[in-house]
Amino acid sequence: MSQRYGGRWKNAKKGTQFTIMVVGASGLGRTTFVNTLCEKKILPNREDFNPDTAHQPTPVQIRPIHAELEEDGMRIALTVVDTPGFGDNIDNVASFNEILNYVEQQYDIILSEESRIRRNPKFQDNRVHALIYFITPTGHSLREMDIELMKRLGPRVNIIPVIGKADTLTPTELASFKKRVMEDIEYYRIPIYDFPNDPDDEEEMIEENNELRALLPFAVIGNEEEFVVDGVKIRGRRYPWGYIDVDNPDHCDFDRLRFMLLNSHMTDLRELTHNVLYENYRTEKLSRMSPELLEKELRSATTSEPGSPISSVSRPLSP
């Protein structure tokens, strides 16, 4: 992909490991979005619908899938955590807990690794750096499930809200829906990744963040089908009146979202995950430990064998 937008002031390191989680009700285009994002099929299509079992509760599944990508000459070890089954039940509390537990388990693994005298040189950091949350294009406002999920997950992960299958709305309906969604996010104080500016940011950086913030929630149209239009190959959908090109920023926000995730803001998402979200979790967990348990942990730091877990107050890993 060519660098059509201003390069991020923090370039991702070569060979960066990056993890995104995709969450949303079935039928919103999660699978197609991921395959379009990766420009290859890494998620299988949804299993055929069976009306005989539709009434039965289906627990959410957590499925990490790994893919190697190359973006502007940069190798990315991408992990996509899919969550099939989310939103398919009347009561989705169990789904919320499963997703939250998975995110926190990755933090616990980091805590354990930080607590070792001799670090594992092959250790892989699987913390979720961004959660892409698919909002149903109702044209009205956020549903109770949307609000609850984002409020619970927001303190633990960088949530990026998107409107799935945005081509079901007219441009006027889409603009109005975006406005109402952001009003709900502000009203309910839902923590999302809103492209925060640093005090040292230059004007170009601030302008780029402002432009991306104005697009929230991103309107996405995922499609793996290719067409040749006027001699140019595009990915998109064909309608009686013409074509929608998923990579055309005049048609949807997919291209900007993809570039932000895999290029311009990847490092920012990783650093926020490590320096803010993880550190908050780490502090909260340590503060809940009793003085006796903390003292026991500290004593074990001087007696543990190399490679065994010791005090979780040792030096942190880098992002």
Q: What is the DSSP letter of 264?
A: I
Q: Report d(CA 127, CA 147) in Å as an integer.
A: 23
How far CA 150 is from CA of 41, 80, 134, 189, 221, in Å, comes to 28, 19, 11, 10, 22
Sign of CA dihedral 93, 94, 97, 99: negative
Q: Which amino acid is at 126?
A: N
pLDDT of residue 316: 59
pLDDT of residue 304: 43
Could you tell me if residue 195 is left (phi over 0), alpha (psi between -120 and 50 degrees) or otherwise beta? left
Where do we find the tokens 């967990």?
285
Q: Report d(CA 23, CA 136) in Å as an integer.
A: 11
Q: Report d(CA 189, CA 197) in Å as an integer.
A: 19
pLDDT of residue 57: 59
User: What's the Rg (C-alpha) of the chain?
Assistant: 21
Q: Report d(CA 15, CA 74) in Å as an integer.
A: 7
pLDDT of residue 2: 34
274: β partners: none
Q: Report d(CA 215, CA 257) in Å as an integer.
A: 9
**pLDDT per residue as tens digits for the range 71-119:** 888 899 999 999 998 987 777 888 999 999 999 999 999 988 887 777 7
Q: Smallest Cα–Cα separation from 83: which of 30, 154, 42, 125?
A: 30
pLDDT of residue 153: 97
pLDDT of residue 1: 35
pLDDT of residue 203: 87
Domain boundaries, the chain: 16-44+56-287
pLDDT tens for each residue of the chain, 319 residues long: 334 444 444 555 557 899 999 999 988 999 999 999 998 889 887 654 455 555 555 788 999 999 999 888 889 999 999 999 898 777 788 899 999 999 999 999 998 888 777 777 778 899 999 999 999 999 889 999 999 999 999 999 999 999 999 999 999 999 999 999 999 999 999 999 999 988 887 888 889 999 999 999 999 987 767 777 777 777 877 777 777 888 888 889 999 999 999 999 999 999 999 999 999 999 999 888 766 665 665 555 444 443 344 344 445 566 6
CATH number (3.40.50.300, 3.30.390.50, 3.20.20.70, 1.10.730.10) of 16-44+56-287 reads 3.40.50.300
Q: Which two tokens stand for residue 33?
A: 């979005």
pTM: 0.85
pLDDT of residue 257: 97
Q: Strand locations in the chain, DSSP E?
A: 16-23, 63-71, 74-82, 130-135, 159-163, 218-219, 226-229, 232-239, 242-245
